[in-house]
């Protein structure tokens, strides 16, 4: 029989998360170092091996070890310390940096994305530490900076040489669901340049706005809708999606515009290769340019996140599922995330390493009145604490 884990209490968990929420880590600018030191102080006080690794001034990761240090720990638990900005301030009914608990819900910016997850992974680690269990292989628990702006903190950890053999990002799924993967992403800027003319004689100009909206964007959309992909039952949004998110062009109501610029957000399904798709988009744009004399079309593709999906048959998923059954009494459900997270960074940099998302929370992240259910936070923490020794043993 595995050793009994004396879990951290609900009160302790709530208090720890409230403390985290009260430290502002809105990114930009981030200021995650204060939150990293808060976590390190709390765990260090109990004799855990924990370090703060500064990435840039005021910005840091916090790294805690169970079972010793290793460049190839059996498991990484990863949550991010930064949050998105408040957005519509006046739509908050609670102090976004207060951590108030009302009717079983803990409110605040980051409660769901991702400070609830950060609290769950570090308190789960603390529970394992307190139980005095000696792990068969090291486990690393990381609170990272810079997730909301591309994954700088997790990238820094990987650059420093940590290569876990399994990874769980503590992004919200809620206690009885495991996210097997994330879609990928490309952020695209496309620019059309033509020639101005008096709007009463449009044939004398080359209309950058019309060519953008009537030729370039439809061609790009058609290309994306024809991309092949293998549907996965866990993903609610299957396949790629393309959204035009910003567009600007024109100088005056009676002038044919010579410049138009659009920003597009492209999401990719597991199995689709961002680099290959990027090349395909460039060909489409080149085709439009060649067809219209006097029109120049420029394409810039960046922000690459590779999609991934982890098999249900991996020890990581099986063990986590078994712990969910034991702790919550519920049958785990598998989902696929429509967005991106540091899970994409880990999956891309560590090919073959199973990566899933599991953590407390709900869809209220990035919105006013963000909250986490206290019971969900407690359940997730217990599932993770139960899973840590078993996953250290299975080792990926
Ligand atoms: Zn997040």
- pLDDT tens per residue, range 21-66: 999 999 999 999 999 999 999 999 999 999 999 999 999 999 999 9
Tell me, what's the pLDDT at 91? 86
- pLDDT tier at 323, thresholds 50, 70, 90: very high
Distance 147 CA to ligand 1 centre (A): 7
Which letter does DSSP use for residue 36 in this model? H
> 296 CA to middle of ligand 1, Å?
38
- Of 100-114, 175-189, 232-246, the range with the lowest mean pLDDT is 232-246
Round to whole Å and give the CA distance between 298 and 286: 9
Neighbours of ion ligand 1 (CB under 5 A): 113-114
Query: If you measure from the C-alpha of residue 367 to the centroid of ligand 1, how many angstroms do you get, rounded to a whole number?
Result: 12
Nearest C-alpha neighbor of 192 from the set 291, 285, 302, 303: 285
Say how many Å lie between the CA of residue 171 and the centre of ligand 1: 6
**What is the Cα–Cα distance from 63 to 355, expressed in whole angstroms?**
18
Q: 213 C-alpha to center of ligand 1: Å?
A: 33
CATH of domain 184-305: 3.30.70.360
Q: Please give the model's pTM, rounded to 2 decimal places.
A: 0.94
Alpha-carbon torsion 133, 138, 143, 147, what sign? negative
Least confident of 112-121, 228-237, 346-355, 380-389: 228-237
Instruction: Decide if 369 contacts 94 (C-beta within 8 A).
Output: yes
Rounded to 10°, the helix 115-131/374-394 angle is: 50
Separation of CA 113 and ligand 1 centre (Å): 5
Dump pLDDT digits (tens) for 237-276.
889 999 999 999 999 999 999 999 999 999 999 999 999 9
Specify the pLDDT at position 212.
98
Structure confidence at residue 2 (pLDDT)? 46
pLDDT tens sequence across 277-303: 999 999 999 999 999 999 999 999 999
Select from 68, 74, 71, 56 the least CA-distant residue to 144: 56
115 C-alpha to ligand 1 centroid (Å): 9
Ligand 1: distance of its center to the CA of 229 in Å?
A: 26
Percent of the chain with pLDDT over 70: 98
Question: Given a cut of 50, is residue 1 above it in pLDDT?
Answer: no
| Residue range 160-165: mean pLDDT, rounded | 98
* Correct CATH for 10-182+307-394 of 2.40.37.20, 3.30.1120.130, 3.40.630.10, 2.20.28.160: 3.40.630.10
- The alpha carbon of 203 and the centre of ligand 1 are apart by a number of angstroms equal to 49
112: CA distance to ligand 1 center in Å?
Answer: 8
pLDDT tens digits along 340-380: 999 999 999 999 999 999 999 999 998 999 999 999 999 99
Q: How confident is the model at residue 395 (pLDDT cuts 50, 70, 90)?
A: confident
CB count within 10 Å of CB 160 equals: 12
89 CA to centre of ligand 1 in angstroms: 20
CA torsion angle for 273, 219, 288, 257 (degrees, to 10)? -120
How is the chain split into domains, by residue range? 10-182+307-394, 184-305
Ligand 1 centroid to Cα of residue 313, in Å, is 26
| C-alpha 165 to ligand 1 mean position (Å) | 22
pLDDT of 6: 65
**How confident is the model over 221-236, as a mean pLDDT?**
94
Spacing, Cα 340 to ligand 1 middle (Å): 8
User: Taking all residues of the chain, what is their mean pLDDT, rounded to a whole number?
Assistant: 95
């Amino acid at each position: 029989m595995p050793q009994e884990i004396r879990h951290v209490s609900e009160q302790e968990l709530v208090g720890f998360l409230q403390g985290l929420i009260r430290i502002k880590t809105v990114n930009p600018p981030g200021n995650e170092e204060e939150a990293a030191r808060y976590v390190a102080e709390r765990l260090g006080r109990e004799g855990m091996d924990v370090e703060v690794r500064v990435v840039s001034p005021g910005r840091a990761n916090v790294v805690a070890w169970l079972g010793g240090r290793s460049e190839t720990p059996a498991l990484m638990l990863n949550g991010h310390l930064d949050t998105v900005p408040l957005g519509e301030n006046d739509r908050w009914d609670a102090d976004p940096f207060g951590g108030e608990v009302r009717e079983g819900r803990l409110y605040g910016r980051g409660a769901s994305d991702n400070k609830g997850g950060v609290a769950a992974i570090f308190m789960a680690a603390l529970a394992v530490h307190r139980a005095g269990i000696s792990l068969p292989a090291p486990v690393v628990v990381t609170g990272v900076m810079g997730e909301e702006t591309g994954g700088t903190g997790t990238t820094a950890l990987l650059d420093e040489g940590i290569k876990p053999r399994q990874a769980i990002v503590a992004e919200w799924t809620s206690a009885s669901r495991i996210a097997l993967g994330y879609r990928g992403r490309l952020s695209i800027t496309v620019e059309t340049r033509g020639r101005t003319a008096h709007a009463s004689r449009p044939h004398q100009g080359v209309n950058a706005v019309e060519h953008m909206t009537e030729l370039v964007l439809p061609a790009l959309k058609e290309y994306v809708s024809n991309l092949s992909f293998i549907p996965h039952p866990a993903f609610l949004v299957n396949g790629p999606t393309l959204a035009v998110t910003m567009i600007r062009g024109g100088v005056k109501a009676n002038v044919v515009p010579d410049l138009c610029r659009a920003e597009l957000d492209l999401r990719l399904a597991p199995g689709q290769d961002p680099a290959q798709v990027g090349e395909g988009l460039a060909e489409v744009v080149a085709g439009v340019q060649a067809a219209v004399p006097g029109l120049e079309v420029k394409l810039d593709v960046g922000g690459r996140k590779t999609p991934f999906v982890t098999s249900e048959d991996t020890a990581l998923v099986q063990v986590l599922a078994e712990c969910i059954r034991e702790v919550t009494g519920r049958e785990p459900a598998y989902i696929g995330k429509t967005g991106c997270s540091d899970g994409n960074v880990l999956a891309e940099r560590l090919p073959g390493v199973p990566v899933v998302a599991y953590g407390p929370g709900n869809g209220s992240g990035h919105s006013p009145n963000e909250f986490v259910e206290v019971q969900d936070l407690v359940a997730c923490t217990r599932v993770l604490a139960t899973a840590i020794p078993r996953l250290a043993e299975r080792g990926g």
